[in-house]
Amino acid sequence: MYVVVPFDARDPKTRLSALLDSDERQRFARAMLEDLCRTVEQTGHEPTVLATADLDVEWPVRVDDRSLSAAVNAVLAERDEPVAVVMADLALATPDALERVFDADGDVVLVPGRGGGTNVVLARHPDFRVDYHGVSIRDHRERAAAADLATTSVDSFRLSTDVDDPSDLTEVLLHSDGAPATWLIDHGFAVEVQSDGMTTVRRD
Amino acid sequence: MYVVVPFDARDPKTRLSALLDSDERQRFARAMLEDLCRTVEQTGHEPTVLATADLDVEWPVRVDDRSLSAAVNAVLAERDEPVAVVMADLALATPDALERVFDADGDVVLVPGRGGGTNVVLARHPDFRVDYHGVSIRDHRERAAAADLATTSVDSFRLSTDVDDPSDLTEVLLHSDGAPATWLIDHGFAVEVQSDGMTTVRRD
């Protein structure tokens, strides 16, 4: 199995702009990428980073500056083996959670992301292609069904939590002690309960 | 095992007020409660509804108008058997997801809710008590650790999704075909992709 981790090396995590400046977003995104790649390694697989620009990491990098879908589909078309596409911002991922995906049956194994995204795709059939635009989990299910491919969904809070907006930082602080959580704590973030009982993050 | 489903029979789902009027919130909350109770039944257990006021459902009802924590702790103190506390608004719950909880090892089994809540507690130790105020998942872990109780967390997107605010309705529409999803569709709700690529629900 070939594991590819797409990564926006240019302007990552724009929806965190209210809390992190451009340089911080780069460094936080990088901390998430490296943590995720190490988690993949712990499952016995070597990740390949699929980046929009060259970057210096300890894993193989494939540069493709096209859209996410085009870049991933080029990998799917090329590889003559199952391909897992694991998003770089799954800061709650654990080896156990990823292994539930890698061990699941099916021509296509999908993990939904909150808000209609697709956080992990494991494609074991050579014809499956991705489209991350719009409500991708629905589109991926429909494509797989139309092609008569057996599809499995893996039910994981950890893997459904991609870190996109400020509310996701709460989840990182509450459910992880990995490098991204440490980075947030080192940069003054903490979980706070508002007067309405809702949790949020504050930065000192 | 005794399964209790807390339910606010008075003014449920206030954070959906922008989309649903008071009567609709009552009926949608009721659809979720009944769907969840049926899902519990499919695991081979009879749910008891722990309600803030009397209500007419096909399952036993225990009325307790105190705070959620006080009402649940009264049940935990009374029952001489394992008690599972399953929130009524887990509209994505499936028998499989609940069985992963009921089958998990541990004196205390916890399922985090998004935003720091605790969506399912399975207490097998007679001394464990809940506190749903604040960041309850953190408090529940700390209480269990302080009492030297073996604690297990179950990693489930379905059970971590409690339906509180409008963004949660997207998840119901995308990942369920149960009665709450049908209710939403019948009342004109659909998933929509905004110009920024984010998904939301619209109501016709």
Three-state DSSP class for residue B116: coil
What's domain A2-159's architecture?
Alpha-Beta Complex (3.90)
Domain ranges in chain A are 2-159
Low-confidence ranges of chain A (pLDDT < 50): none
Q: Summarize the confidence of residues B43-72 as an average pLDDT.
A: 97
Which residues sit opposite B192 in a β-bridge?
B200
- How far apart (Å, rounded) are the C-alpha atoms in residues A203 and B2? 42
Chain B CB contacts of A163 under 8 Å are none
Question: Which residue from A minimizes the CA distance to B98?
Answer: A155
At B196 the pLDDT is 84
Q: Is A197 on the interface with B (CB under 8 A)?
A: yes
What one-character-per-residue DSSP string does A77-96 give?
HH-SS-EEEE-TT-TT--HH
Chain A CB contacts of B170 under 8 Å are 115-116
At A144 the pLDDT is 97
Q: Where residue B24 falls among pLDDT bands split at 50, 70, 90?
A: very high
Residue A70 near residue A64, CB atoms below 8 Å: yes
Q: Do A199 and B116 touch (CB under 8 A)?
A: yes
Query: Which of the residues B140, B157, B202 would you substitute to probe the A interface, choosing the one with the greatest number of A C-beta atoms within 10 Å?
Result: B157
Q: Is A27 on the interface with B (CB under 8 A)?
A: no
Could you say which DSSP state residue A126 is in? T
- How far apart (Å, rounded) are the C-alpha atoms in residues B162 and B181? 14
Chain B CB contacts of A167 under 8 Å are 115
Q: Is A148 on the interface with B (CB under 8 A)?
A: no
Q: What percent of chain B has pLDDT over 90?
A: 98
Q: Summarize the confidence of residues B85-114 as an average pLDDT.
A: 98
At A197 the pLDDT is 84
- How far apart (Å, rounded) are the C-alpha atoms in residues A134 and A116? 8
At A196 the pLDDT is 84
Of B133, B157, B193, the CB nearest to A160: B157
Give the Å distances, CA to CA, from A36 to A48, A88, B159: 11, 6, 24
Cβ-based neighbours of A6, under 8 Å, separated by 6 or more: A50, A51, A68, A71, A72, A85, A87, A88
Chain A CB contacts of B158 under 8 Å are 155
Q: Do B97 and A155 touch (CB under 8 A)?
A: yes
Could you say which DSSP state residue B14 is in? G
Of A96, A155, A175, the CB nearest to B158: A155
Question: Which residue from B minimizes the CA distance to A133?
Answer: B197
At B182 the pLDDT is 98
Question: Which residue from B minimizes the CA distance to A167?
Answer: B115
At B153 the pLDDT is 98
Cβ-based neighbours of B67, under 8 Å, separated by 6 or more: B132
Chain A CB contacts of B119 under 8 Å are none
Could you say which DSSP state residue B42 is in? T
Structure tokens at B1: 């095992």
Go through B18-52 and write b for each residue having 16 or more CB atoms within 10 A of its CB, e for each that does not: ebbeeeebbebbbbbbbbbbbbbeebeeebbbbbb
* Look-up of token digits 């292609």: A129
Q: Summarize the confidence of residues B56-84 as an average pLDDT.
A: 98
Q: Summarize the confidence of residues B4-31 as an average pLDDT.
A: 96
Question: Which residue from A minimizes the CA distance to B159?
Answer: A157
- Determine if the pTM surpasses 0.95: yes
Q: Do B193 and A114 touch (CB under 8 A)?
A: no
- What CATH code would you report for B2-161? 3.90.550.10
Chain A CB contacts of B191 under 8 Å are 116, 135, 138
At B195 the pLDDT is 87
Instruction: Encode pLDDT of B143-196 as tens digits.
Output: 999 999 999 999 999 999 999 999 999 999 999 999 999 999 999 999 999 988
Query: Which of the residues A158, A177, A191, A199 would you substitute to probe the B interface, choosing the one with the greatest number of B C-beta atoms within 10 Å?
Result: A199
Task: Region of B202 please: left (phi>0), alpha (psi -120 to 50) or beta.
Answer: beta
Cα-Cα end-to-end distance for chain B? 43
Q: Torsions phi, psi of B107, nearest 5?
A: -70, -35
Go through B64-78 and write b for each residue having 16 or more CB atoms within 10 A of its CB, e for each that does not: beeebeebbbebbee
- Inter-chain CB pairs, A–B, below 8 Å: 72
